[in-house]
Structure 1
C-alpha cells in the first residue's frame, strides 16, 4: 500500500443566490453538470431500466411500469427547468426543490403530507487526492424514490448490483428500503475514507520515529481538517437516521426501521473512529513539537557546555592580553604590572593552566552525567 502523504486540497464551496431572494427560488450552482437520469422500475419478478436527459424518461417509464416500485436517479443539477418539472409532476413543495439545488444542506429528514425529503453528505477523495463533499438528496413517496446527486461519480454501484441480482428484500421492501440502502452505502463510504486516513496516520507515525520533519505537522493538520469535515457530515447524519426511526410516517415501513437502527449503529461507529483519529492527530502534532523542543534543548545543552568550558579560558587569555607596560619611560621596573609576562616559560605555563582547567571541567561534567544523552 502506498503510504506517501499527498497534499489534501479542498473543493471550494460557496453559497449561491442573492440576499433576499424569494423562498423557493431555484439557483443552480456555478459549474453544475447537466442532468443525467437513470430510472429503475422493479418488482419481485422483473427490473426495467431506462436512461435519458429529460422528464420524458420518467413519464414513459411510469406508463410502462404502473405496478412497479421506481427509483429515479438524477446525476447533475445543472438544469433548473428539469427540477421544476419534476417538482410540478410530483407536487413537491418549492422549498424542497430549493434545498435540492442549494447543495450546502446538512443531513436532515423532513416529513410532508404525502412524501418525505432527506439529505446526506457524500465525502470522498477524488483521483487528484482532493476532498470532495457533495450533497445527496432524496424524495420518498408511496411507490417512488427519486435521488439527486451533484456529479456523475457512481456511489451506488453495489446497490444497483443488488437490484439487478434481485436477492434479499431490496425489490420487495418498497422505496423506504431503497432509501435505507442508499443511506447505508453513504455511511459505508465514510468507513472507506476513514481507512485511508488511518493508513496515512500510520505512515506519519512511522515517519515521526524515523526522520521527523516539518511535513509531519503540515500533513497532520490537513488530516485533522479532513476529519472535521467528515465529522460535520456524520454527526447530523446520526440525528437524521434517528428522526427516520422515530417517524410515524407510513412511508417508512416498520420492518425498514430495524435496518435503520443498524445504520444508526454504523454511524455511531464512524463517529467514534473520527474522534479517535482526531486524538491521534493531535497527539502526533504534540509529539512532533515535543521532539523539536527536546532537540533544541539538546543543542542548547551542547552549546552551554562548550561556553562554560571556554569562559575561564577566555578569562585567563583576557587578563594576560592587557597591555600594561612592565617598565616606565625611564626604564624603571613597575613591580605591580604583570611580572608573569617576563617569565622564561610563561606562555607554556598559561597554556598548561588553561588545558588543565578545561580537563577538570570536562571531568566534573562527565561525573554529573551531562554527556549521557548528547
Structure 2
C-alpha cells in the first residue's frame, strides 16, 4: 500500500517560557548569522556595502549623510547586533522582541520617531511544502532597516529598480521603500496561488478522468496550504489598511496612493484563496459522492443478481426436500411430491427456472435499471 507523505506548513513556534518579562530578546539556536547589506541612495547615486557587524552601518552613515539608507539584515543569529541597533536607534525593547520572535502576525505599529511593520514571507520549497518566514521593518527618517530570518534573496526586483534609479524609489523616502518591499511580498502570494491553481486544475482533471483516493489526499493537502496562506494574507490586509490610515509623516500621501493599490491586491488574494478553498472542498465532496455512487451501483448489480436467484433458489429448495413418495410399508403417500416421478421432471424444473429468470430480466430492462449501471 502506498504511504503518502503528510503535507506540512512551517509555522514558527514562540520562543521563551510562559511568564517571561516583556521585551526580552531570545534568539533561536538555529538562527543564522547575520549578513548586512547597506544601500544608501538619493536621486543622483546609489552606494552599496556589505558586512556582518554594526561598523559597516555606521561607516555608511558617515560617508552618505545626505542619502536615504536601506539596511537589509539577513539572519538573526547575533543578539549583540540586535541590541546594538536598538541602543543606537533608540528602539523599544518590545519591537526588538518582535523582530527576534519570528511567530508574529502581520501588523503595523506607530512609535514616536519611527514605525514598525511585520509581514509573512511565504514560498513553496522543493517538496511543495509551504514555508512561512518573518519579515520585519523599522522605518525612521531617511532610514529603513529590514530583518529576515534566513539568507534567501527575495527582493531582486526592488534592488534592480534601485540600481536603475527609475520611478519614485530613490526620491519618495523610506516609507516608499517599505511599501516596495511589502508589495513584493504580496506579489509572491500571487505566484504561489498561480501554482496552486494549476495544481488544482490538474487534480480536478484527474478526478474526471480516473478517480482514486490520492485525489482526496492531494486536495486536502492543498487545502491546508490555502489555510496557511489565508493566515498570512488576512492580517496583511489589515496591516496595509493601518498604513493607509496612519498619521505618521513617515508614510507620505504619495506612498498611501501606492498602498491603496497593495490593499486592492490583498483583497484579490483573499478572494482567490476563498475560491480555491471552495473548489478543494468541492473536489473532496465530489470524490466521496462518486465513491458512494460507485458503491450504490455495485450494490444495485448485486441486488439484481440476488433478486433473480431468489425464486430459483426457492424452487431448488422445495425440490431438494427429502420427503419420500413411498412410505416404509411400500404404500404411496399422495401428498409427498408427485413431481419426483415425472418423466423429464428435471428438465421441466430447469425450464421453469430459466423462464422466471428471463421474465425478471425483461421486467428490469423495461424499468431501465440496466441503463443506469
Query: TM-score normalized by structure 1?
Result: 0.97
In the TM superposition, residue 19 of structure 1 has moved relative to its aligned partner by 1.0
Matched, 1:313 2:312: yes
1:136 alignment counterpart: 135
- Provide Cα deviations, 1:79-120, integer angstroms capped at 9, x if missing partner: 111111111111100000000011111111000000000100
| CA distance in 1 between partners of 2:266 and 2:256 (Å) | 15
1:83-162 to structure 2, matched below 5 A, reads: 83-162=82-161
Q: Return 259-268 or 22-31, whichever deviates more.
A: 22-31
Matched, 1:186 2:190: no
Provide the aligned C-alpha RMSD in A: 1.2
3-state DSSP of counterpart to 2:168: coil
3-state DSSP of counterpart to 1:39: strand
* CA contact 2:103–2:134 (8 Å) conserved in 1: yes
| CA distance in 2 between partners of 1:20 and 1:112 (Å) | 25
3-state DSSP of counterpart to 1:332: coil
1:1-374 to structure 2, matched below 5 A, reads: 8-11=7-10, 13-374=12-373
In the TM superposition, residue 12 of structure 1 has moved relative to its aligned partner by 5.3
In the TM superposition, residue 6 of structure 1 has moved relative to its aligned partner by 8.8
* CA contact 1:324–1:337 (8 Å) conserved in 2: yes
Count of residues in Structure 1 that have an aligned counterpart in Structure 2? 370
Shift in alpha-carbon separation, 1:16–1:247, aligned structure 2, 3 A: same
- Provide Cα deviations, 1:184-203, integer angstroms capped at 9, x if missing partner: 00110000000000001000
* CA contact 2:189–2:269 (8 Å) conserved in 1: yes
* CA contact 1:69–1:174 (8 Å) conserved in 2: yes
3-state DSSP of counterpart to 2:372: coil
Query: TM-score normalized by structure 2?
Result: 0.97
| CA distance in 2 between partners of 1:257 and 1:209 (Å) | 47
* CA contact 1:9–1:129 (8 Å) conserved in 2: no
3-state DSSP of counterpart to 1:302: helix
| CA distance in 2 between partners of 1:8 and 1:70 (Å) | 40
3-state DSSP of counterpart to 2:371: coil
- Provide Cα deviations, 1:29-68, integer angstroms capped at 9, x if missing partner: 2411111111101111111111111111111111111111
In the TM superposition, residue 13 of structure 1 has moved relative to its aligned partner by 2.9
Mark the runs of 5 or more structure 2 residues left unpaired by the alignment: none
| CA distance in 2 between partners of 1:342 and 1:63 (Å) | 123
* CA contact 1:107–1:237 (8 Å) conserved in 2: yes
In the TM superposition, residue 7 of structure 1 has moved relative to its aligned partner by 6.5
- Provide Cα deviations, 1:137-172, integer angstroms capped at 9, x if missing partner: 000000100000111111111001100111111011
| CA distance in 2 between partners of 1:61 and 1:189 (Å) | 31
| CA distance in 2 between partners of 1:207 and 1:123 (Å) | 28
In the TM superposition, residue 8 of structure 1 has moved relative to its aligned partner by 3.7
| CA distance in 1 between partners of 2:292 and 2:12 (Å) | 38
Deviation above 4 Å: which 4+ runs of structure 1? none
Mark the runs of 5 or more structure 1 residues left unpaired by the alignment: none
